[in-house]
Structure formats: structure tokens, C-alpha cells
């Protein structure tokens, strides 16, 4: 039992625990203090042990945390995650600082969960046909960088998104990742 005024988590192995959500960052040790200083009061950053036994720092409310929650709560089937345009410099396939952080988290999650396959789907952003090529380049960039970070080539693919008749393409952001757990 912890006897102080600060809340704590304890790892349990008897099945009585609950899943904890995560975000994966690849941060040089020298940069960690700067990140922590920018976090708003009450935001939790802590360690998470992944399925492969590796440990990563996680932040509440992040996409990485949502992915980890899905893998812990209901790991069967598929789940779709949108890839926001803030991950790329405007009108390019160049990753922003935030984009690199998200890519590192995504890659670490895939490497830790070998039964999960990622499909990076691209389409015209907001239904504008001229954006399809850029979204394809962005999807290829995510794929290539994830493979460069050690994700198995068989675990991640890029495909053009297909739509049913009557689908409102104006609502599409252009990129999404579908995670499929093959357990």
C-alpha cells in the first residue's frame, strides 16, 4: 500500500487490474524536460509495459493511448484511426515534429503487437480530386518510415480507400489507419 498523498498505479498479474491508455514518444533524454514543462497541470505521463515486455512513456488522451486501450480492452477485429493533417507540413509529405512523435508511437505499438496489421488508407482530402496524389505520398511516407523504424514489411500496407455508392467524400480527411488484430 502507498502511504502518501499522491495517487499511484501498481502492476498486478492476478487479472484484477484495468488497462491503461498510452502514447508512444521517441524522445532524446535531453529533450524530456522540455516536453514535461509544456504539459498542462494534471496531465499524466507515465510508463507502460507493452505486450512484448518493452516500456514506453505515455500521455493521457493521445492516439497511442487510444490504440493501447483498444488492444487491451477488445483486441479482436479492426479499429480505424484518422491521421490528422497536423502531422505533415502544409501541402507536403514532410512530417512535422508532432508527426514524427506520432510515427514513433505507432511504430513501437506495431513492433510490440506482432498480431496487429496496419492498413494505411488514402483518399482525396474533402473530396478534392487534386489532393489524392499528396495523400498517397503521405501514406507512403508513414509506411516507409515505420518500416525504417523496425516494423515488419508484412505488418503494414498502403491502399487507396474504396467507398460505397453515396458516400460523402467531403467529410474525408484523406488519410486513416485501420488496425486489424489477427488474434
The CATH number given to whatever domain includes residue 86 is 3.30.1330.60
pLDDT for 48 equals: 65
Tell which phi-psi region holds residue 170, choosing left (phi > 0), alpha (psi between -120 and 50) or beta. Answer: alpha
Query: How much is the mean pLDDT over the chain?
Result: 78
Confirm whether 9 is domain-assigned.
no
Confirm whether 23 is domain-assigned.
no
- Phi first, then psi: give them for residue 139, nearest 5 degrees: -60, -45
Confirm whether 14 is domain-assigned.
no
Tell me if the pTM is above 0.85: no
Confirm whether 5 is domain-assigned.
no
Lowest-confidence segment of 39-43, 68-72, 80-84, 100-104 by average pLDDT: 39-43
pLDDT for 126 equals: 75
Closest CA to 79 of 63, 91, 95: 63
For residue 41, pLDDT over 60 is answered with no
For residue 75, pLDDT over 50 is answered with yes
Highest mean pLDDT among 26-30, 32-36, 122-126, 137-141: 137-141
Q: What is the mean pLDDT of residues 37-42?
A: 60
For the chain, what is the domain count?
1
Confirm whether 105 is domain-assigned.
yes
Domain span at residue 151? 29-181
Confirm whether 17 is domain-assigned.
no
Confirm whether 2 is domain-assigned.
no
Closest CA to 88 of 137, 24, 39, 126: 137
Residue with the three cell numbers 488496425: 179
pLDDT for 42 equals: 53
pLDDT for 77 equals: 83
Confirm whether 11 is domain-assigned.
no
CA 129 to chain centre: 27
For residue 148, pLDDT over 50 is answered with yes
Amino acid at each position: 500500500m502507498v502511504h502518501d498523498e499522491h495517487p499511484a498505479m501498481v502492476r498486478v498479474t492476478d487479472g484484477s487490474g484495468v488497462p491503461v491508455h498510452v502514447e508512444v514518444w521517441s524522445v532524446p533524454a535531453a529533450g524530456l524536460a522540455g516536453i514535461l514543462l509544456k504539459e498542462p497541470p494534471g496531465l499524466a505521463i507515465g510508463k507502460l509495459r507493452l505486450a512484448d515486455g518493452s516500456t514506453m512513456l505515455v500521455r493521457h488522451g493521445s492516439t497511442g493511448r487510444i490504440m493501447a486501450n483498444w488492444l487491451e480492452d477488445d483486441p479482436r477485429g479492426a479499429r480505424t484511426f484518422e491521421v490528422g493533417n497536423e502531422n505533415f507540413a502544409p501541402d507536403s509529405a514532410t512530417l512535422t515534429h508532432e508527426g514524427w512523435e506520432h510515427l514513433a508511437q505507432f511504430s513501437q505499438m506495431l513492433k510490440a503487437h506482432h498480431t496487429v496489421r496496419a492498413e494505411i488508407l488514402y483518399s482525396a482530402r474533402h473530396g478534392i480530386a487534386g489532393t489524392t496524389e499528396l495523400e498517397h505520398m503521405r501514406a507512403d511516407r508513414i509506411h516507409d518510415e515505420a518500416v525504417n523504424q523496425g516494423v515488419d514489411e508484412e505488418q503494414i500496407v498502403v491502399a487507396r480507400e474504396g467507398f460505397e455508392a453515396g458516400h460523402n467524400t467531403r467529410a474525408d480527411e484523406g488519410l486513416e489507419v485501420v488496425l486489424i488484430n489477427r488474434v
